[in-house]
Amino acid sequence: MTALKVRLTFPPEKITEPIIYNIGQHFQVITNIRRANVTEEAGWVMLEIRGHSDNIERAIDYLKNINVQVEPVEGDVVQ
């Protein structure tokens, strides 16, 4: 099992969608929200994703395809 830490930045039209839940269900990955900030205009989440590397890669590709910005994060995201 592999783990990846990323920062997701959501466009305003995606803020109310259950995107994190969906990637867990559709790509069989475990998601752990480590930090987040969501308002009516913007939203970002520091997310840890665990699972098989192919499933994580497919989940990341899906996020990028729906215009969610994905940036890798180094170190611990909760301090």
Q: Which two tokens stand for residue 4?
A: 């990846």
Q: Each residue of 3-15: pLDDT tens digit?
A: 999 999 999 999 9
Give domain limits for the chain.
2-72
Strand partners, 18: none
Backbone phi and psi for residue 70, each to the nearest 5 degrees, phi listed first: -120, 120
Domain covering 2-72 in this structure, CATH number: 3.30.70.260
What is residue 8's three-state secondary structure? strand
The pLDDT tens digits for 43-67 are 999 999 999 999 999 999 999 999 9
Pairing label, strands 2-10, 69-72: antiparallel
